[in-house]
Each structure stands twice: as C-alpha cells, then as structure tokens.
C-alpha cells in the first residue's frame, strides 16, 4: 500500500473513476446513485428548494379561482389603485395598479419553470445532437460545427437577443425560449463532443461498425445512451441560465408583455419609482430568482459529483 494510494482510498471519490459511465448502467444504478446524491446535504437542500418552487408554480392556479381580483395580470383590486403594503387581503401587498404581488410571485415560478425547462431541454437536445455528430464524424463536419459553437460562445447572448428584439419587435415567451436554446447549445455540444470522441474509439463501437451497423444505429443505440447522463447534467445548468436571461430581458423592459415574470416584477418596481418605498415588492422577486438559481446550481453540483467527479468545471459556470 503506497501512501498516495492510501490518500486516495480515504477521499470519498477516486481520482480516476472509470469514465464514462454508461447510460444503461447509470439507470441500473439509479438506487446507488440516489444514495450518493442523498449523502450530499447541499444537493438535498437544492432539491428541497426546487420542490418548494414547484409547489409555488402549482399553487399559482389557485388565487385567480378564489377571486378574479387575484389574477396576476388583469386582477385589479377595485378598492386599491396604488401600491400598498402586505395585508390579509393581499399577503405581499399590491403593485402600482393594485394587482396582487403574491399571486404574481406564484405565477412567476410557473413561468420560470416553463421557460427554464423548455429552453434548457431544447438547448441540450441540439447540443447533444451536434456534439455527437461532430465527435463521431470528425474532420470537416467537426471543424465547422465546433467553429460555429466557438462563435456562439463568444457572443454576449443577452445583448444579441436585445438586438434581435429591436429588429423583430417584442419577443413572445416561446420565441424567446427558442432563441435562448439557439444560444445555449454551444457549451453543451463541446462537452458531448469530447465524450463522443472518447467513446468512439471504444472496442464495442469498433465492433458494431465492423458488424455493419449504420452510422445512425451506432450514434443512437451505442453513443447516445452513454452521453445522456452528461446531457441531463447540463440541463440543470441550462435551466438556470435560461431563467436568468428571461429575467434580465424582462427587467430591461423587453419581456413578453402578456405574461408576468419575476424579472418583469422587478422592472415594474424599478421603473415606477417604487424601489425605495416598497420593499415588500422589491425583495420577493429578487429572492426568488436568486434562490431558484441557487437550487439548480446545488442540484447540478451534486449530480455532477454522482455522474462524473472529474468534469471540467469552467464550462459549468456559464
């Protein structure tokens, strides 16, 4: 037993774990992975927070059913025409038009999940496909796709979306989701490509090729299951950045005017000059955006540890 080996056995994760773990094994070991995940208190905290936000999103349907004055967009309280502080009638007070802030906050959670999950899902789907294609076919295909990814990665996404909206006008929430996905696939594709490169020299891929399997079959039957866990991990990171882009865009006044989001709430409190007098309005949306970011980040980090402790960290930061 050498001292360095001794050190290694002591730490919870080995330095060189068999990389990559296969997707099928990953599913089979779901129970064990859950055990590893559960031992990470930060990851569990993230999961609990996410569950709370999920509850908020579900609860967002309730207030308008109680009384139309609680509708987050159109529900103006007839006896209130200005921003008021918390009360029994309005738990978090009302905004400048007398709309219920608590109800807006709940709807914000639903919108955040909708945007975050759909944009991240699309980004990861595109990124996985592009990354697999680039890594598997190599050569010109690889060079072209990765150059494209490089260009997208040096573009400041938020500002590009600003420019876009100056040309085509206000973006609806679903257009925004698509555009965010078009910006966020690049980072994912780099990682998936690297993974595919290391997979495609594996003997079993070689064997499949010799046995006459088509490119599509090799890509989807042999490579895809092995890169899916990584894609899944990147989805948790993608959700945050999509939520943040939408929030920032809404905050700057370029959001979809037909929905309410946390960023939009901050824009209202800022632009209507209430930020110094209505802390009950200023604080909740910001806390929500920050906490949802934190929770996805914590969940992602914990998943990262479960799936692959040696991932390059710098790409994860974006």
Partner 1 sequence: MSLLEVDSLTVHYLTAKGKVHALEEVSFDLKKGEALGLVGESGCGKTTVAMAIMKLLAPNARVLSGKILLRGEDLLRKGEEEMRKVRWKEVSMVFQSAMNALNPVHRVGDQIVEAILAHDGSFSEEEAQKRVSELFALVGLDPNRMRDYPHQYSGGMRQRAIIAMALACEPSLVIADEPTTALDVVVQDQILGEMKRLQMDLHLSLLYISHDISIIARACDRMGVMYAGQLVELGPTQKVLEAPLHPYTRGLLNSYPSLRGPKKRLRPIPGEPPNLWEPPEGCRFHPRCPRASEICRSSCPPVVSLENGHFARCHRPRS
Partner 2 sequence: MNLRLFVLVRSVQILITFFIIMTLLFVLFRLAPGDPVAFLTDPQMTEEEVALLSQQFGLDQPLHRQYLLYVWNFIRGEFGISFYYHRPVVEILKDRLPKTALLFTTATILYAFAGITWGKILAWKRGSLLDTSVSLFGLLTHTFFLPWLALILIWIFAYHLGWFPLNAMISPEIWLDPESGWLRKGLDILHHMVLPLAVLFLTHFGGYTLVMRSTMLETLREDYILTARAKGLPEKVIRNRHAAPNAALPVVTSLGLSLAFSINGGAITETIFSWPGLGRELVFSVSNSDYPLAQASFLLIAAFVLVSNLIVDIIYAYLDPRIRY
167 counts as binding partner 1 under rule CB under 8 A: no
Q: How far is the CB of 129 from partner 1 (least distance, A)?
A: 37
Q: Give the C-alpha separation, 308 to 22, whole Å.
A: 11
Say which residues have a Cβ less than 8 Å from residue 214's Cβ, sequence separation at least 6: none
C-alpha distances (whole Å) from 97 to each of 67, 76, 78, 141, 266 are 17, 7, 10, 55, 15
15 counts as binding partner 2 under rule CB under 8 A: yes
293 counts as binding partner 2 under rule CB under 8 A: yes
Peptide bond into 135 cis (omega under 30): no
Binding to partner 2 (CB under 8 A) within 157-186 occurs at 157-160, 162-168
For residue 167, the partner it binds in partner 1, partner 2, none, with Cβ less than 5 to 8 A by kind, is: partner 2
Q: How many other CB atoms are found less than 10 A from the CB of residue 213?
A: 15
β-partners of residue 100 are 94
Letters for 11-50 (x = contact with partner 1 by CB under 8 A, - = none) are: -x--------------------------------------
4 counts as binding partner 1 under rule CB under 8 A: yes
For residue 98, the partner it binds in partner 1, partner 2, none, with Cβ less than 5 to 8 A by kind, is: none
Q: Give the C-alpha separation, 119 to 229, whole Å.
A: 18
C-alpha distances (whole Å) from 41 to each of 27, 48, 50, 301 are 22, 10, 14, 11
275 counts as binding partner 2 under rule CB under 8 A: yes
For residue 103, the partner it binds in partner 2, partner 1, none, with Cβ less than 5 to 8 A by kind, is: none
Q: How many other CB atoms are found less than 10 A from the CB of residue 293?
A: 18
Of 124, 228, 266, 303, which lies in the binding site for partner 2, with binding defined by CB under 8 A?
266
159 counts as binding partner 1 under rule CB under 8 A: no
Q: Which residue has the tokens 């948790």?
A: 236
Chain residues binding partner 2 by CB under 8 A are 4, 7, 15, 150-151, 153-160, 162-168, 244, 247-248, 251-254, 263, 266, 269-270, 275-276, 279, 282-283, 285-286, 289-291, 293-294, 297, 312-315, 317-318
């Amino acid at each position: 037993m050498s001292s360095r080996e001794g050190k290694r056995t002591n730490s919870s994760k080995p330095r060189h774990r068999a990389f990559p773990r296969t997707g099928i094994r990953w599913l089979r070991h779901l129970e064990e992975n859950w055990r590893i995940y559960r031992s990470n208190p930060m990851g569990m905290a993230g999961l609990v927070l996410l569950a709370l936000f999920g509850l908020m999103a579900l609860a967002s349907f309730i207030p308008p059913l109680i009384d139309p004055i609680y509708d987050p967009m159109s529900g103006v309280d007839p006896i209130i025409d200005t921003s008021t502080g918390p009360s029994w009638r309005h738990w978090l007070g009302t905004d400048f038009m007398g709309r219920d802030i608590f109800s807006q906050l709940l709807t914000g959670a639903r919108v955040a999940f909708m945007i975050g999950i759909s944009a991240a899902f699309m980004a990861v789907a595109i990124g996985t496909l592009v990354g697999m294609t680039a890594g598997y076919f190599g050569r010109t295909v690889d060079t072209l796709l990765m150059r494209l990814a490089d260009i997208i990665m040096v573009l400041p996404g938020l500002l590009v979306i600003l420019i876009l909206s100056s040309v085509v006008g206000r973006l609806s929430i679903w257009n925004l989701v698509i555009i965010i996905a078009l910006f966020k696939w690049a980072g994912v594709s780099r990682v998936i490509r690297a993974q595919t490169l290391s997979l495609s020299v594996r003997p079993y891929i070689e064997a499949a090729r010799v046995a006459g399997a088509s490119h599509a079959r090799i890509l989807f039957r042999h490579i895809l299951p092995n890169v899916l866990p990584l894609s899944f991990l990147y989805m948790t990171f993608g959700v945050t950045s999509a939520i943040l882009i939408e929030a920032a865009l809404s905050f700057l006044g370029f959001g979809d005017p037909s929905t309410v989001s946390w960023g939009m709430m901050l824009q209202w409190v800022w632009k209507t000059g209430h930020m110094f007098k209505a802390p009950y309005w200023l604080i909740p949306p910001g806390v929500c955006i920050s906490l949802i970011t934190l929770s996805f980040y914590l969940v992602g980090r914990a998943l990262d540890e479960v799936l692959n402790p040696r991932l390059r960290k710098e790409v994860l930061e974006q």
